[in-house]
Amino acid sequence: MGLEKKKDNININLGMWKSVFAVPCEIIDQHLGSSSLEQIKVLLWILRNSDNQEKLNNYSYYFDSKVFCQCFKYWQDLGVFGDKNKNIINHEEPKLNNKISKYKKPDSAHVVQRIKNSDEIYSLIQEAQNILGRLLSSGDNAVLIMLHDNEGLPVDVILMLLQYAVSINKSNIRYIEKTGINWALTGIDTVAKAEQKIQNLNRLNMFWRKFESLIGIEHRSPTSSEEEIILKWYDKWHYNEDLIKHAYEICVNTKGKYIIKYMDGIIKKWHSQNISNLEQLKSQDLNNNLSKNKQKTASDLSYNIDEYENYSIFDK
């Protein structure tokens, strides 16, 4: 009887590499530098969920609908999705009609069973009612259970989300559902991460209210593009309101209306010139005008001398 050599078992933990999706080389080679951050985000999300038509048609849970449709059209016009005239995503604005989307939410029978059989879920529902100050409907409960069971948000994180929603007067279940799904997608799945997220949101809300008041626009929620730009101006570059107001005035005088991306282009130019306040800008403008006047004077003087020399030959 011969001896058999025992084979070693090889186990490889691929981690995140177990789940990947492809990005065409053409995107990186030809379009990365010329595409905006929002356009790249939308494309990656579409590629990631290309085999999930239901999720694609519920894009409004993850993006501002108008921004998403603009970004989608951008890539469609470039031929990224094949036939430019083929609609692979429903572009129509989702009709809310005060109804909650049925995307991934459990039915009423499952809701009853979860509350009955899980002390954790029962506690979630009770605490949620206390925070929101109202009795929750079966649909409300379904959303909270969905955020916990399907999206993976811990109970403590969901309760923090509810407290934040109440603090900004947006305690409707539609907002809670949309924000909860967004938190899950962006990895806000611990109390520490939720605290940091809420701090960032509070800072953003404070900056946005300042900006609204500064330029006199009607109160509304900012788009994702506005959020990104506002945080850059106030939180990253620390620009004061006088300079931002001046950029707004230039924008309106030039374009006839408020366009935040045009304003951002103006402020980017100032930032590249290390201009951080209105006094520096005025000083820079003054120096530029003086320099232009000197160049003009030198040019005129040169022309006059040449003209004199040309004419003087006839006097000899």
Taking CA atoms, 75 is separated from 3, 24, 27, 182, 283, in Å, by 63, 12, 10, 23, 43
Whole-number Å distance between alpha carbons of 32 and 26: 9
pLDDT in tens, 8-26: 566 666 666 767 888 888 8
Query: Looking at residue 103, what is its pLDDT?
Result: 52
Helix 241-255 vs helix 278-312: angle between axes, to the nearest 10 degrees? 50
Q: Decide yes or no: CATH 1.10.10 for domain 108-188.
A: yes
> Of 88-97, 166-175, 284-293, 305-314, which range is least confident?
305-314
| CA neighbours closer than 13 Å in the CB half-sphere of residue 4 | 4
pLDDT at 178 over 50: yes
pLDDT at 130: 97
Contact 160, 202 (CB under 8 A): no
User: Is residue 146 within 8 Å of residue 101, measured between CB atoms?
Assistant: no
In eight-state DSSP terms, residue 232 is I
Classify the phi-psi angles of 12: left when phi > 0, otherwise alpha if psi is within -120 to 50, otherwise beta. beta
- Reported confidence tier of residue 310, pLDDT bands at 50, 70, 90: very low
Closest CA to 246 of 286, 216, 208, 281: 281
**Predicted structure pTM score:** 0.55
Residue type, 283: S
pLDDT, residue 313, reads: 39
Q: Provide mean pLDDT across the span 206-227.
A: 91
Q: What percent of the chain has pLDDT over 90?
A: 45
Of 77, 66, 64, 68, the residue nearest 31 (C-alpha): 77
pLDDT of residue 308: 35
Residues 280-301 have a mean pLDDT of 62
- Residue 123: what residue type? S
CA dist., res. 218 & res. 209, Å (int):
10
Best-predicted range by mean pLDDT among 97-111, 203-217, 286-300? 203-217
Nearest C-alpha neighbor of 54 from the set 89, 97, 105: 89
Mean pLDDT of 89-107: 52
Boundaries of every domain in the chain: 20-77, 108-188, 190-300
pLDDT at 288: 65
Provide the CB-side half-sphere exposure for 312 (13 A, CA): 6
For 183-212, the pLDDT digits (tens) are 998 999 999 999 999 999 999 999 999 999
Q: What is the pLDDT of residues 108-152, one digit of tens each?
A: 888 999 999 999 999 999 999 999 999 999 999 999 999 999 889
175-184 mean pLDDT:
94
272, two tokens: 């590249």
Residue 94: what pLDDT? 42
Return mean pLDDT, the chain: 81
Angle at which helices 37-48 and 65-77 pack, to 10 degrees? 80
For residues 61-83, give the mean pLDDT.
Answer: 78
Whole-number pLDDT of residue 298: 44
Q: How far is CA 56 from CA 43, 63, 89, 92, in A?
A: 11, 11, 6, 12
Angstrom distance (rounded) from CA 63 to CA 179: 10
- Inform me whether the pLDDT recorded for 56 exceeds 90: no
**pLDDT at residue 84 in the model:** 53
Lowest mean pLDDT among 28-32, 80-84, 175-179, 195-199: 80-84
- In degrees, rounded to 5, the angle at the alpha carbon of residue 133 between the alpha carbons of residues 132 and 136 is 70
Distance of CA 166 to the CA centre of its chain: 22
Identity of the amino acid at 151? E
Are the C-beta atoms of residues 171 and 162 closer than 8 Å to each other? yes
Instruction: Report the distance separating Cα 276 and Cα 267, nearest Å.
Output: 9
165, 133 contact by CB (below 8 A): no
